[in-house]
A and B are shown apart, each in its own frame.
Chain A
Amino acid sequence: MSNSWTPGAVDALRQQHNLPFVRTDAQGQVVEFNDRFRLIYGWDERLVGQTIGMILPSSFRELHHAGFSRFKLTETSKLVNHPLELATICSDGAEIRSEHFIVAERSDAGGWSFAATLRPLEGPHAC
């Protein structure tokens, strides 16, 4: 299980146009997402600037926030670079079981960027 970050990983995910994609800044706030993400999970531009915790069930948020903050302290995580099955919250509150693949990347300026592709495992867009 890898816990390292990979140069160019975020862009590699962004190129997978067939999968929903979302990226956050070092604070865990959403910076961008693609059309597939918008189509499947229903979120619009208002998600930009919000915490990525919005797309996780409320019971997951404590661990998510704590894990995010821990990453900033230790720069290691067992969540990155391998598929992870999690419930994902849509803009209407519905949950879609999805396979998240999270990557972390440090920019030349030293700031962290996190991105994930989400593969819906149920519903009309399941793949």
Chain B
Amino acid sequence: MLVEDSFSGSAESRSLIQQMSQSLGLLRVAFDSTGEAMLIVDESSAVRWANQQAADLWGGGITLQMVGRPLSALLQFYHLDRSPLGDDEPSHPLQKALSGEGRNSYLIQALSTPANDLEKSGLIRRSVSWRLIIQMNQSFILLIFRDLDPLEKALARQRQFIDNLAHELRTPIAIITGNLHRLKRKEQFSDNIRQSLSDATAETHRMATLVDNLLLLSELDTDYRRWKLQIDDLRTFVDHWAAKLSFDLRGCLQVNVANEAVDYQVQVDRDAFHLILDNLLDNSCRFSSSKPSIQILLIQSKSFIELQFIDDGPGLQNEEQCAAVFDRFTRIEDHRNADMTDGGGLGLPLVKSLMEGMGGSASCSSPQSPANSGCHGLVVTLRFPRPRLSAGVTNSA
């Protein structure tokens, strides 16, 4: 408008304005023709812009009537398990957008639909992507709502199948485990049979762990896991975990803090954090020829807190292996140990998925030994974003 005012009177300017106006109209037609609903919200979470698809779903068909209204007054996000998602919860798209681009699936309910329109007031599933936009020193969040394509629907069905399968396998595995324990208590078996029973017990235990991990991964993949995020010092979380360990395992562990004076506040789900460290410890024990020596090092930076889990095992040979260990069912051939039950190949992938689910990341490296004679130990780096205090998380202190 300022442009229109200051340039009024000039034929050239009028022509330019008309051209811009036509471009706006063309853009509007294009945005309204897409199958995706789009919204732009401002810093106060009020709608600044909407396309026709968004208005048809949540604005009674009129884009103009969505402008200025809080997003939370127009639609409600739900987790895929149909539990409502609070505006301040870290997994809410507007909260996630503050830390970067991303995409996730949600169930969405229109709130502005008249109560008598039952068909429209139901939950719809959409893949929602978010992106932070800075325009003329103001920040906005672009939300794009997409219906699942056939491939994604097939993937969702496949994940549901894994979920069902894992649940079905748990009962027979528990029965086999119980029977094996009962048989082992009998005294009439020869040593050979006892060895076979021990092997079968170990294999069954491995299978049970595999099923548990598969189920957890499936929950993470389909966003069915309910996070219980707490804010506390990372040292406290590590201490809680270490207190659960056996005396022997605690003896292998050394916790070092780069700077005792600073705070190491993180926002994590304690159960998930324990699972992560359990898996890392299991991994270190599995690949160490003797009792492992493990150092946990905490490092603080401006935007994140880092936990380095350092063992003295064989480590990895190159960057490719460092990336491959986070792939599901991948086992590094050099590390296969005939004396030990093989791992399921899901431990480190689970660590990665759990870290990503909490907004962090996991990576690993193997420092070269001073004589450059090969690798020495494995360093798994867990990076936690610094917490933002909000109503969706509890302070565990």
**Which residues of A are in contact with B by a Cβ distance under 8 Å?**
1, 27, 50-51, 53-54, 57, 59-74, 78-79, 84-87
Contacts and interface: CB of A to CB of B under 8 A. Distances in A.
Contacts of A72: 22, 25
Contacts of A53: 1
Nearest to B50: A63
Given A1-B61, A78-B61, A63 B25 contact: no
B29 A79 contact: no
28 contacts: A27-B18, A51-B1, A53-B1, A59-B46, A59-B68, A60-B64, A60-B68, A62-B48, A62-B49, A63-B50, A63-B63, A64-B64, A66-B24, A68-B25, A69-B22, A69-B24, A69-B26, A69-B28, A70-B24, A70-B29, A72-B25, A73-B29, A78-B61, A78-B62, A84-B64, A84-B65, A86-B65, A87-B68
A63 B64 contact: yes
B4 A70 contact: no
A67 B61 contact: no
Contacts of A1: 61
Contacts of B49: 62-63
By secondary structure, the B interface counts as: helix
Interface of B: 1, 4-5, 18, 21-29, 32, 42, 46, 48-50, 52, 55, 61-65, 67-68
A69 B25 contact: yes
Nearest to B46: A59
A61 B27 CA distance: 15
A119 to B, nearest CB: 16
A86 B64 contact: yes
B1 A54 contact: yes
B15 to A, nearest CB: 12
A73 B25 contact: yes
A54 B4 CA distance: 11
A65 B24 contact: yes
Q: Which 8 A-B pairs have the closest CB atoms?
A: A69-B25, A66-B28, A70-B28, A66-B24, A70-B25, A69-B21, A69-B24, A73-B25
Nearest to A65: B24
Contacts of B29: 70, 73-74
Given A70-B32, A78-B61, A84-B62, A63 B1 contact: no
